[in-house]
Structure 1
Amino acid sequence: MNVDTGITSEVFTIKSEIKLIDIFNSIISKKSEAVFEYIESLNIDINTRIIVIGTYFTGVGIVKRLSEKYKNILLIDIYPHLEELLYTDLGGDLKNRVEFSSDIDLIYSGDIVIDTTGFGGITPEQSSKLNVDAFVIEDPVAEDNDDLLKKKNNIHERLDAVKCLNKAIIKTKGIDTKTSGTMTLTIGILTNLLNRFLEMEGVLYCACEMGFFEEVIFKQKDIEKFIQQTDINAFKVSTIKPFDLDEIIKAEISKINSEMIT
């Protein structure tokens, strides 16, 4: 446990060993493992062409996990600079293990297609041109607790439009967030825990490290800056009674569940 004295010797500052990027990776891993197990259940050849559409962040995690076994993987994203994510702590060293392209027409070249684009991503019309062995799509809605998002969600139209026998939905939820996005779930964890820590006896105040990283990634297009900003302790708490921050963070992460709906 990372403990230091605060303003006086009677008050302590405790910091989590868990970093922000660790929370991202934990959520991504849950989604990726669910997809990997589903692909495994199809009993496909390791050289089967697998196309993953969408890099941020589920796509990176999925290709990372699949590349541990499968040899013919293409990640497609309309933002060319997102290829850099493949070579960070989120993606690991995926050079020579995963192809990357921004040519959206290549989505039709796969045997298995995994669509992680969520709201405003691949359209039902594009989906209708797919003729594949399996199609997997991520549901961007988590708990069905927002009517506008529910109406906006068109994954079932996209799913129905695809010509294939094997279809599945990645469903991730567990902490009462509106969407299943890794960023949304991370913010949900941080918010839930901030409220919980403040209710604990002896806690003066607490803070978490969080920014609006979409601007860094999509506006500034600075992947290195994003990694630097997330490679920091997730929480700091001022308290007169130190406790194990990391165990509580792990317990909150464990509430998130990702499963395949077929």
Structure 2
Amino acid sequence: MDVDTGITSEVFTIKSETTLFDIFNEIISKKSQAVSDYVESLNPNTDAEITVIGTYFTGIGIVKKLSEKYENILLVDIYPHLKELLDVPIAGDVENRIEFSSDIDSIYHADIVIDTTGFGGITPEQSKKIKADTFIIEDPVAEDNDKLLKNKNNIYERLNAVDCKNKAILKTKGIDTKTSGTMTLAIGVLTNVLNECLKRDGVLYSACEMGFFEEIIFKEKDIDKFIELTAKKALKVSTIKAFDCDELIFKELSKIKSKMI
């Protein structure tokens, strides 16, 4: 824990050792492990063709995790610049070579297809063309606490449209967020931690370093800038009594659960 004096010697500024990147990676790890365990339970050949659709954090985490054991992995995304995310320390390093493509038609030739595109992603019409042994789709809805989002969610249409022997849904929830996106969950963790900090006697205020990184990644297309910003310590608290704010972060992270249904 990083402790410094505040405006006066009577007030402390405490900073988490946990960075934003650490929070992203912890959430990604939960999702990736759930998918990896499911794929392994099917006992595919190590050279089975695996295609993951969607490069945003869940997709990156899954391909890196699966690359620890499987050799023939393709990551597909309509945004070519997201290939750069394979080279940054999101969810660890790549164990084996991972191919990248922006050709959406390349999703139709795999043994295992994993769709992480969520709202506005792969359509039921596109899903109908998938003829794989296994199809996995991430549910973008977390807690079913928003009627509009629930009605917008079409993963069951996509799941039913696919002609596959094995079908499964990746479900992530636990901290009452509306969606299961890694960025949404990270914001949820920090929001809940900020509220917990304010409940503590002696706390003046607290702040986190969270920004709207979606614009940096998808509009500015500046991956280096994103990495630089997310390497910062996630939480700072002004208080007259120091405490371990990392403990609060990991307590909140521990509530998040990913499972296959």
Q: TM range, normalised to the smaller chain?
A: over 0.9
Partner of 1:222: 222
> What is the CA distance between 1:92 and its match in structure 2?
3.9
Within 5 Å, which residues of 2 pair with 1:42-81? 42-81=42-81
Partner of 2:8: 8
- Please say if residues 25 and 91 of structure 2, whose CA atoms lie closer than 8 Å, have aligned partners that are also in contact: no
Partner of 2:22: 22
Distance in 1, Cα, partners of 2:207 & 2:98: 38
For structure 2, list consecutive stretches of 5 or more residues without a partner in the other structure. Answer: none
Distance in 1, Cα, partners of 2:178 & 2:99: 32
Distance in 1, Cα, partners of 2:11 & 2:153: 48
Equivalent AA in structure 2 for residue 137 of structure 1 = I
> What is the CA distance between 1:93 and its match in structure 2?
3.8
Distance in 1, Cα, partners of 2:130 & 2:71: 21
> What is the CA distance between 1:95 and its match in structure 2?
8.2
> What is the CA distance between 1:248 and its match in structure 2?
1.1
Moved more, 90-99 or 50-59: 90-99
- Please say if residues 87 and 95 of structure 1, whose CA atoms lie closer than 8 Å, have aligned partners that are also in contact: no
> What is the CA distance between 1:96 and its match in structure 2?
5.5
Distance in 2, Cα, partners of 1:240 & 1:211: 27
1:38-60 CA distance string (max 9 Å, x none): 00000011000000000001000
Within 5 Å, which residues of 2 pair with 1:141-156? 141-156=141-156
Distance in 2, Cα, partners of 1:156 & 1:172: 16
> What is the CA distance between 1:10 and its match in structure 2?
1.2
Residue identity over aligned pairs, in percent, reads: 73
Within 5 Å, which residues of 2 pair with 1:187-202? 187-202=187-202
Partner of 2:113: 113
SS of the residue aligned with 1:192?
A: helix
Normalised to the residue count of structure 1, the TM-score between the two structures is 0.98
Distance in 1, Cα, partners of 2:93 & 2:244: 32
Partner of 1:123: 123
- Please say if residues 85 and 91 of structure 1, whose CA atoms lie closer than 8 Å, have aligned partners that are also in contact: no
Say how many residue pairs are matched: 261
Partner of 1:100: 100
Distance in 1, Cα, partners of 2:92 & 2:140: 25
1:184-213 CA distance string (max 9 Å, x none): 001111111111101110001111001111
Partner of 2:179: 179
Distance in 1, Cα, partners of 2:220 & 2:91: 20
Equivalent AA in structure 2 for residue 162 of structure 1 = V
Partner of 2:40: 40
SS of the residue aligned with 2:176?
A: coil
Equivalent AA in structure 2 for residue 229 of structure 1 = L
Distance in 1, Cα, partners of 2:15 & 2:91: 26
Partner of 1:206: 206
Distance in 2, Cα, partners of 1:247 & 1:206: 15
Alignment RMSD, CA only?
0.9
For structure 1, list consecutive stretches of 5 or more residues without a partner in the other structure. Answer: none
Normalised to the residue count of structure 2, the TM-score between the two structures is 0.98
SS of the residue aligned with 2:206?
A: strand
1:156-191 CA distance string (max 9 Å, x none): 000001001100000000000000000100111111
> What is the CA distance between 1:91 and its match in structure 2?
4.9
Kindly tell me: are residues 96 and 33 of structure 1, through their superposed partners in 2, closer, same or farther at Cα, counting changes over 3 Å?
Answer: closer
SS of the residue aligned with 2:25?
A: helix
1:106-142 CA distance string (max 9 Å, x none): 0001000000000000000111111111000000000
